[in-house]
């Protein structure tokens, strides 16, 4: 049941369309010499083209808003590593059409490639469970507007924390930081430091 719910939520995200970021657009333009939409469509549909895979990897990388949208479901559910493939299979069986939206207002609609679905889901780290102590510290000390972004960062870090590191992180969340961006930057630094 969890797999079906997750697949449906990811399907909704994909059907809403994916925005091509300025960084991905720069990659496309520098790698493929400012291609026309029709040229890009041909490339994305050509499974034999070796340039297709890295491009799909960039396009179908879950961005922060998608991760934040999925985090409540991931936090509530219990997912195993094998569930990622099951969710991918469910998504691919839906024959989803995804609108790729470019900064200039153009859009390209493509069928969701199977390998792109698998990669998208693998990047979500669905089997990771955040320590309950950390979740409690976040709920108690962090403004509600930032809680999901912080939980996404913890999921992406995928650390298994020692008791000392858990204590440190819980204390970190207790310290007042007034600016939301500052809190997220500090958390990124702390998580990188812990690796």
Provide, rounded to the nearest whole percent, the portion of the chain with pLDDT above 90.
Answer: 85
pLDDT at position 122 is 93
Average pLDDT over residues 44-48: 90
pLDDT at position 1 is 67
Average pLDDT, the chain: 93
Task: Report how far residue 168's alpha carbon sits from residue 149's, in angstroms, rounded to the nearest whole number.
Answer: 19
Average pLDDT over residues 19-31: 94
98, 66 contact by CB (below 8 A): no
Per-residue burial over 85-104, b if 16 or more Cβ lie within 10 Å, else e, is ebbbebbbeeebebebbeee
- Could you tell me the pTM of the whole model? 0.89
Nearest-Å Rg of the Cα atoms of the chain is: 19
In the numeric block, which tokens belong to residue 29? 């333009």
**59-107 per-position pLDDT tens digit:** 999 999 999 999 999 999 999 999 999 999 999 999 999 999 999 899 9
Confidence at 132, pLDDT banded by 50, 70, 90: very high
153, 184 contact by CB (below 8 A): yes
**CB neighbours of 27 closer than 8 A, spacing ≥ 6?**
55, 58
């Amino acid at each position: 049941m969890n797999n079906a719910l997750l697949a449906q939520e990811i399907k909704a995200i994909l059907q809403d369309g994916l925005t091509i970021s300025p960084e991905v657009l720069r990659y496309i333009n520098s790698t493929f010499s400012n291609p026309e939409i029709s040229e890009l469509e041909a490339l994305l549909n050509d499974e034999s083209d070796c340039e297709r895979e890295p491009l799909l990897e960039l396009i179908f990388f879950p961005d922060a808003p998608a991760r934040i949208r999925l985090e409540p479901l991931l936090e509530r559910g219990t997912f195993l590593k094998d569930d990622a493939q099951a969710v991918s299979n469910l998504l691919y069986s839906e024959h989803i059409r995804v609108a790729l939206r470019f900064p200039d207002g153009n859009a390209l609609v493509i069928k969701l490639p199977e390998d792109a679905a698998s990669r998208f889901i693998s990047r979500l780290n669905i089997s990771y469970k955040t320590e309950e102590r950390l979740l409690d510290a976040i709920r108690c000390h962090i403004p509600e507007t930032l809680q999901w972004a912080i939980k996404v960062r913890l999921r992406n870090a995928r650390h298994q924390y020692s008791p000392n590191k858990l204590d440190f992180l819980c204390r970190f969340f207790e310290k007042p930081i007034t600016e939301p961006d500052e809190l997220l930057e500090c958390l990124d630094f702390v998580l990188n430091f812990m690796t």
